[in-house]
Structure formats: structure tokens, C-alpha cells
Structure 1
Amino acid sequence: MNTLHLVLNAVTVIFIAATMFAAGLRATVPALRGVFADVPLLLLLALTANMMVIPLLGWGIGSLLGLPSASFTALILIASSPGGPFGAKLATVQQGDLVTGAAMQVLLASIGSLTFAPTASAVLSAADIGTKVSLDVGALVRTVALLQLVPFVIGLLLRRYAEPTAQSWHPTAAALSSITFLIVLAGMLLGSWHDVVDLFGSLALLAGFLLAAFAFALGTLLATGPMTRRTTMGGVASVRNAGPALAAIGLAFPDQPTVLGALAAILLSGLAASLLISTLLSRRRGVPKTPQEHTDQATTQ
């Protein structure tokens, strides 16, 4: 099992880096400048929704469903950790705005590495379950920079200064991202299926599904721009970053395997909700438009 974990960790690293590299290969500096200049998008989606509302939403769902301590803790850890790398992949799945999604995901991951520890600690303390979280913020920032920001910037620079190379490399990077994505999903199921099965009667799976679904709706509602951009932001909001949560479990709950099992279950059920919504959006957008629909869309945008 240790070998499986090592292989899964390695594939996860490749998936994150390949996903962000592929996103960078498709990005342009003017497009990114437009994203970061959109103050309402940054304030409403990045700060209000992801940093404040979704952690409180996790608290509310956990309390409403009466989750036991381990599942409740795992849910709060996930809700307090924005910027999951799967968010960029969901933009591709739903045929959304990949450039905006990737840029916002990197921003949320960077900010979230700083806000995760105090947010999770505050919510868990307020919930009065006697749990505190202590994290190495510096290590989290370095991890985000190495695995997400650096590959994205490299891809972006290639697109800007060597566009033919970027175009020729993108199909390979995208294929690597998709293949490793499937391997990561299979590995999570294989490595934690006992814990997931044990949690079927605890409502933890339902809690993860509801958190992702409501976060998707909230992100879409608070985003700006055309619907493809808004639902992309919904996908980014719905997928949380497992890295800080796993670090918190390693530091604060090393002798509580039930918390790790609950985390895996909540992550998988939340990802299932996000994938379901994104797939439905993709099918809807895959229907050929009539000439009048193309005209209407161009007019609205």
C-alpha cells in the first residue's frame, strides 16, 4: 500500500503540473490582464465566496447533517481550502473559459495557502469540537508556487514568445493531463475504498456532494461576464485544494485515520458532483447552434 501511495503522489504531481502547463500554453497576457482587472470578480468570487462563504457553508452543512467529529473536521478542512487544481480541468470538461479558470485557480490557491490555517482553525473552534489546526504556511506557499504557478507561467511565456512551439506542445500536455487525471481518480478510489464504504451510513458522502453543488452554484452566481465564464468560476469554486487539508491532517491528526478516510470520501463525492454538473454543461454546449443563436450570443457578448 505504501508503494501505491508513492505512485499516486507522483502521478498527482504530474497531473497538477501538466494541467497548469497546458492551461498556460493556451493563455495570453492580455486575457489574463483582463481577468485580474475585473475587481468585482476578484472581490466577490475570490474573497467573499471562496474565503468566507464556502467555509461557513461547510459548517452549516456539517451541523445540519449532524456529522460525527472526524467527518465534520474533514468537511471544514476541505471547505476552507480553495484553489484545487481540478478546477482548471473542469473548465475543459464543460467547454468553459479555461484561461480565466486557470488564472483564478492559481490566484485562489496562492491566497488560500495563507488563509487556510486561520480559517479552518476559526471555524473548528467556533463549532466547539475541541480541534485546532496548525500549519507551516511557508511550506504551503512554496508547494503552490512549485506545482501550480511555475508550470502555468512557463506555459504562458512559451505562448507569448514561442507560439508555434506552444501550439505544438499543447495537445501532448492536454493528453497527459487527462490520462493522469483518470489515474488519480482510480488511485483515490483504490486506496480509500474501505474508508469510503464505511462512511456510507454517516452522511459524509452527501455532505461532500452538497458542498460542491452549492459552491458551484455560488461561484456561478457571483461571477461576472458571459455564462461560459460564470459556470467556469462555479467549477473553480466547487473544487477545493486537497494539499493544505492533507497537510493539516498530517500535522494535527496523525493518529486519527478516520479523519483521512472522511477526507477522501468527501473529496470524491464533491468531485463527482462537480464532474456531473460540468458534463451536463458540456453536453448542452455541444449541441450545434442555429445561425440565429450564434447571432444572439454575439450580441449579448
Structure 2
Amino acid sequence: MGTLQSLFNAVTVIFIAATMFAAGLGATLPSLRAVLSNVPLLVLVLLANLVVVPLLGWGIAALFALPEAAFIALLLTASSPGGPFGAKLGMVQNGDVVAGAAVQVLLAAIGSITFGPTVNVILEAADVGGEVSLDVATLVLTVAVLQLVPFAVGLVVRHYAPSAAQSWHPVAAAVSNVTFLAVLAGMLVGNWRDVVALIGSRSLLAGFLFAVIAFALGTALATGPWERRTTMGGIAAVRNAGPALAAIGLAFGNEPAILGALAAVLLSGLAGAVPIAAVLSHHRRQKPAPGRVRNR
């Protein structure tokens, strides 16, 4: 089991690094500056991911009257923005990959700082769980190493060696796609007992609805073209598991019930978000190019 867990962790690291590297290879400095200087977009994205989505998680957990373990797991998930799967969903849906990658890294960095206080406020208000204390410096360093650095390296290659970036991008994208499927399979296989144990409960439905509604809210609370707005929707729907796992270990002693509920919430959330991205991708592939009229 230890070997399988180590392999899964390694594949996850490769997935995150390859996804962010591919996003960097496809970006340009002017396009990145345009995103990061778009104050209305950034304000709305921060509002959606740091305030609205955590409150949504609390509301769904209360509405479904989830057991304490699932309640805590959903709150931890909702309070942790900037998951690397969000950038991947931007690629899957053929959305605004540059904006998605830039915003996802920004949210992951800010979320490393806001996660603990946000969770503590909601847990106290909901009168469930205990106080969460995390090593913020470690979380920020993790975000920098796994997400910011690969994205920056890809961006530098694109700027100084565009021909190399053009040839490397398909390879990086292919690695990202393969490891994405491997991570999904690993999550399901590694946690199948926990997921099966929750079948018939409200926890899976709560995680599914949370992701779908978060996708809609993230899309609504964004500006710009439709492709950019739906990309922000995917960013909002997919949360960062790292801080949540750290919190379970530090504040809840790696309680199996909470770990199992977290896996179920994450998987059911992906089951809600990935099909939306796939439908958007299909629609965009079918859309005729400007100036062309589809044959009747």
C-alpha cells in the first residue's frame, strides 16, 4: 500500500507540473499582463472563490444535514481555492487557458493564507469540528514549487524560444492528459471503499451539487468572453485538496471518516465539473469559424 501511495503521489506531482508547464508554454507575457491587470475580473474571482464558494459549501452541508465528518470535509474543500484540476478543466473545455492558469496559481497562493481563518470562522459559526492551524509557509512553498515555477518556466520558454515552446507544448499537454486520467483512476481505486460506504448517503450528492453550483457561480462572477467566464467557473468548482488534507492531519488526527468523506466529496465534485467542461468543449468544437456558414 505504501508503494502504491508513493506512486500515486509521484503521478500527482507530474500531473500538476505538466499541466502548469503546458499552460505556460501556451501563454504570452502580453496576454498574462492583460489578465492580471484586469481589476474587475480579479475582484470578482476573489469574491467568488474566497467568500461565495465557502459560504456555498456551508449552505449545502447544512441543507443536507450532513454527518459531522462529511460536513467538515465539505467545508474544508469549499474553503480551499486554487486546485490544479481547475487549470486542467480550462484545457478540457477549450477555454481561456492563460487566464485560467494565472488565476488558479494566484488563488492557490492566496488560499494558502486565507484557508485556515476561513475554515475556523465557518466551523465556529456552524458549531462543528475544532480549530484548524496550518503551516502557511509550507503551503505557500508547495504552491510555488509545484505550480508557479513550472508555469513560469513554460512562460519563459514561450517568450525566448517560441519554436521550442511550439514543439514542446503537444508533449506537455499529452503528459498532462495521461497523468490526469491516472490521478482520477488512482483516487477512485485508492478510496473506493470510502466512496462505496457513502453510496446512498447525502454526501456524494452534496459534493456533486456543490461543484455544479460553484461552476455556475464562478461563471456568473467573472467578466470577459464566454470562454474566459466558463474557465473561471471551472476554477471555482475544483478546489485545492492540499490544505484540506493538511488540516485533517493536523487538526483532526487523520480521522479516517473525514479522509473518506473528503475523497468522496472531491470525486463527486469532479463527476459534476468534468462533464460540464466536456460539453463546453464539444460545443466549441462544433461552432463554425468566423466567416464560415455551416452547411444546411
TM-score calculated relative to the size of structure 1 = 0.95
| Residues 157-195 of structure 1, C-alpha deviations (whole Å, 9 max, x = no match) | 000011111111111111111111111000000000000
1:12 aligns with 2:2: no
Distance 1:99 1:290, change over 3 A: closer
Q: Which 4+ runs in 1 deviate beyond 3 A?
A: 290-294
Query: 8 Å contact 2:248–2:254 — kept in the other structure?
Result: no
Name 2:142's counterpart in structure 1.
143
Distance 1:196 1:162, change over 3 A: same
| Residues 200-220 of structure 1, C-alpha deviations (whole Å, 9 max, x = no match) | 122111111111111110111
Q: What RMSD in Å do the two structures reach over aligned CA positions?
A: 1.2
Looking at structure 2, the residues matched to 288 and 202 of structure 1 have their Cα atoms a distance apart, in angstroms, of: 40
Paired residues, what number?
A: 293
1:123 aligns with 2:122: yes
Name 2:266's counterpart in structure 1.
267
Looking at structure 2, the residues matched to 288 and 241 of structure 1 have their Cα atoms a distance apart, in angstroms, of: 32
Alignment of 1:100-111 (within 5 A): 100-111=99-110
**What is the percent sequence identity of the aligned residues?**
66
| Residues 263-300 of structure 1, C-alpha deviations (whole Å, 9 max, x = no match) | 00000010111101101111111114175678xxxxxx
Which blocks of at least 5 consecutive residues in structure 2 are unaligned? Answer: none
Distance 1:255 1:161, change over 3 A: closer
Alignment of 1:232-247 (within 5 A): 232-247=231-246
Looking at structure 2, the residues matched to 79 and 39 of structure 1 have their Cα atoms a distance apart, in angstroms, of: 24
Alignment of 1:54-203 (within 5 A): 54-203=53-202
Looking at structure 2, the residues matched to 49 and 212 of structure 1 have their Cα atoms a distance apart, in angstroms, of: 13
Looking at structure 2, the residues matched to 165 and 178 of structure 1 have their Cα atoms a distance apart, in angstroms, of: 20
Query: 8 Å contact 2:86–2:100 — kept in the other structure?
Result: yes
Q: Given residue 27 of structure 1, which amino acid in structure 2 is its aligned partner?
A: A
TM-score calculated relative to the size of structure 2 = 0.97
State the shift of 1:67 in Å: 0.1
Q: Given residue 122 of structure 2, which amino acid in structure 1 is its aligned partner?
A: V
Which blocks of at least 5 consecutive residues in structure 1 are unaligned? Answer: 295-301
Q: Which shows bigger deviation, 196-205 or 62-71?
A: 196-205
Looking at structure 2, the residues matched to 162 and 255 of structure 1 have their Cα atoms a distance apart, in angstroms, of: 46
Looking at structure 2, the residues matched to 169 and 293 of structure 1 have their Cα atoms a distance apart, in angstroms, of: 31
